[in-house]
Amino acid sequence: MKLSTNPTTNKQYIVPDELDDSDGINRFLESNRSRKIIVVQGLGFVGAVMCLVCANAPGNNYAVIGIDLPDENTYWKIRTLNEGVFPLTAEDPKIEQFYREALRKNVFYATYDTYAYSVADVIIVDINLDVQKHSDPQMELLGYDVDLSGFKKAMMTIGDNCKESALVLVETTVPPGTCEKVVFPILTEKLKLRGLSAEKLLLGHSYERVMPGPQYIDSIQSFYRVYSGIDERSAIATEAFLRTIIRTDEYPLTRLGNTKATEMAKVLENSYRAMNIAFIVEWSRFAEEAGVNLYEVVRAIRMRPTHSNMMLPGVGVGGYCLTKDPLLASWSRQNFFGSDSALRQSEVAVAINDKMPEFAFRHFNLQFKQSLKSKSVLFLGVSYRGDVGDTRYAPAALLFDCFSSAEAKVTLHDPYVNFWEEKQLKVETNLDVALSCHPTVLIISAGHSLYKGAQFVDALLALPPLFLYDTLGMFSESELSTLQRTHTVKSLGRGDI
């Protein structure tokens, strides 16, 4: 017997051996006879929220079925969603509003049964496509693997079940060329094997730009979209569908020439940002050595419009996109298009960013100048960015490993995470409780709003003297001055303190 455990509630569910949920799906269809059916493949940070956006599309035209795999890692999401508890936490009140409205109208249902694909008018692909990386201490990328086997299997499942006239819309970030060289051939072959016409198939690509946080819903519904189709019919169908869920009156759609172009657009924009971040790493070290406040330097430069997006110092890059997308592009160039050359600068940028937490730890040791053995260290934040509960590839993970290897006694706080899945550790969500342990060292490792402002500063001032290490430049100059009266305060990129 396999159990699936909700990490938020610790409630356990038995994963079914029998994968028949047709009765549940048919009851849902019966109550939504007049609506088109959208099936969203994947109930993670993108798919689950995409379900809500589609279910709350203007005009109430859609009923949405979210589908994920029935295993111990995902089955709890399916059950939780149908029980009235949304599985993701973020500071966006629209998520709960949209979820409650979808349940009230009975236009959302979660399942594990692939039968759902057979009733879908539109199938949206929002599944993971990971990169396995291998790097050395010198930050030279030794190698990485892009395994498409899971993605291909998911496409085969769609092809084995979908209508011949369904629109399949890929939102997953994929290596450029994937829709043309992987998705379309698989779907075409599967339809033909079922005796159906592949001529009616519609395949579009429009990459997600979901930003977990306070504008979670708006990052889907109220933001610019790029799209394309495998052919003219598919492009037209993709545009028509996107117009029903996105506020195109304010955020017009941009059509590109083919699916390779839209696939490239996503990995290019993320590669550009990753390189911008990597660039500032060596300048942070320079500023620390030169006694310079790099934050004020960058902000001064940002006054120039052509340099307004220069990055600030930080502890590292996390999340699901910037940590891997440049590698998807480089892999595509070599494996889909036969180039002998990698996108080397993009690869090196990822390698540098992956090692940023180690830089932060070395900088900490230079400032702390003591053994960490048995010292009480409190991490504030295990999410990869502020005001979200997403710990995927969080910089805090490698930083945590560094402190643990130094035999520090590490405790954790995060207002959005009560269990750190990657580390299999419990996390305190109450800040007062976390601070009550009176740490020797306090690390600000995620940019949550809770760690900003006068109330937070007052809470720190109430503690006995400690070593405060700010990896994200969270404090104003006046706050720093106030805190330094009681505590030792150090910050990445701040050679002046």
**Pair 244, 389 in one domain:** no
User: 130 and 250 share a domain?
Assistant: yes
401 CB-contact burial (10 Å; exposed 0-12 / middle 13-18 / buried 19+): middle
User: Are residues 209 and 74 part of one domain?
Assistant: yes
Q: 296 in a domain, yes or no? A: no
**The pLDDT value given to residue 137:** 52
Alpha-carbon gap, residue 155 to 145, rounded angstroms: 20
**Is the domain of 124 the same as that of 244?**
yes
Residues 6+ apart with CB under 8 A from 97: none
212 in a structural domain: yes
Judge residue 459's burial from the number of C-beta atoms within 10 Å of its C-beta, 0-12 exposed, 13-18 middle, 19 or more buried: middle
Q: Residue 179 sits in which domain range? A: 3-257
Residue 205's alpha-carbon distances to 17, 106, 167, 227, 257, in angstroms, are 34, 28, 10, 6, 11
String of b and e for 131-153 (b: at least 16 CB within 10 Å)?
bebebeeebebeebebebeebee
Q: 219, 242, 257: which is the final residue of a domain?
A: 257
Q: Residue 256 corresponds to which amino acid?
A: L
Backbone angles phi, psi at 38, to 5 degrees: -110, 130
Cα separation values, 362 from 94, 200, 406, Å: 41, 59, 12
What integer pLDDT is reported at residue 141 of this predicted model?
57
Residue 330 lies in a domain: no
**Count of residues making up the chain:** 497
Query: Which residues have a Cβ under 8 Å from the Cβ of 164 and sit 6 or more positions away?
Result: 191, 196, 197, 198, 200, 201
Beta strands in 98-154 (DSSP E): 108-111, 122-125, 131-135, 141-146
In whole angstroms, what is the distance from residue 13 CA to residue 313 CA? Answer: 43
pLDDT of res. 321? 86
Whether residue 443 contacts residue 434, with contact meaning beta carbons closer than 8 Å, is answered with no
Q: Compute the C-alpha angle 354/356/359, nearest 5°.
A: 135
CATH of the domain at 111: 3.40.50.720
Report the SS3 class of residue 460: helix
The DSSP call for residue 124 is: E
Token duo for residue 2: 């396999």
The token pair at 148 is 């498409």
Q: Which of 257, 274, 297 is the last residue of a domain?
A: 257
The answer to whether position 451 is within a domain reads yes
Structure-token match 């220069």, residue found: 310
For residue 109, CA distances in Å to 95, 114, 184, 376 come to: 16, 13, 28, 46
Q: Are residues 362 and 222 in the same domain?
A: no
Q: At 300, which helix (H) or strand (E)?
A: helix 294-301
What angle (nearest 5°) sits at the alpha carbon of residue 276, between those of residues 270 and 280? Answer: 145
Angle at 88 between CA 175 and CA 320, to 5 degrees: 25
Euclidean distance between CA atoms 312 and 86, whole angstroms: 34
Q: Which 3 state secondary structure label does DSSP give 420?
A: strand
The gap between the terminal CA atoms of the chain, to the nearest Å, is 57
Both 159 and 29 in one domain: the answer is yes
pLDDT score, position 222:
94
Q: Examine residue 268 and state whether it is found in any structural domain, yes or no.
A: no
Q: Give me the half-sphere count of Cα atoms (radius 13 Å) on the Cβ side of residue 330.
A: 21
| pLDDT value at residue 443 | 98
Report the distance separating Cα 85 and Cα 233, nearest Å.
39
User: Do the domain assignments include residue 327?
Assistant: no
Helices 259-290 and 344-354: crossing angle, nearest 10°?
50
Are 97 and 238 contained in the same domain?
Answer: yes
Domain match, 250 and 393 both: no
Nearest to 379 by CA among 401, 405, 352: 401
Longest CA–CA span in the chain (Å) reads 77
pLDDT, tens digit only, all 497 positions of the chain: 788 988 777 889 989 988 899 999 999 999 999 999 999 999 998 999 999 999 999 887 999 999 999 999 899 999 999 999 998 877 789 999 999 999 999 999 999 999 999 999 999 999 999 898 876 555 555 588 999 999 999 999 999 999 999 999 999 999 999 999 999 999 999 999 999 998 999 999 999 988 888 889 999 999 999 999 999 999 999 999 999 999 999 999 999 999 999 999 999 999 999 999 999 988 999 999 999 999 999 999 999 999 999 999 998 888 878 889 999 999 999 999 999 999 999 999 998 999 999 999 999 999 999 999 999 999 999 999 888 888 988 999 999 999 999 999 999 999 999 999 899 999 999 999 999 999 999 999 999 999 999 999 999 999 999 999 999 999 999 999 999 999 999 999 999 98
How many angstroms separate the CA atoms of 414 and 388, rounded?
10
Judge contact between 480 and 469, C-beta under 8 A: no
Same domain for 244 and 361? Answer: no
| DSSP class per residue in 61-100 | -EEEEEE---STTTHHHHHHHHTT--S--BS-HHHHHHHH
Q: Is residue 478 part of a domain?
A: yes
Separation of alpha carbons 378 and 414, rounded Å: 11
Domain endpoint, select from 257, 279, 300? 257
Q: Are 2 and 72 in contact (CB under 8 A)?
A: yes
Yes or no: say if 25 and 116 are a contact pair by the CB < 8 Å rule: yes
Residue 92 CA to residue 87 CA, distance in Å, equals 14
The tally of domains found in the chain comes to 2
Q: Is residue 283 part of a domain?
A: no
Pairing of strands 419-420, 425-426: antiparallel
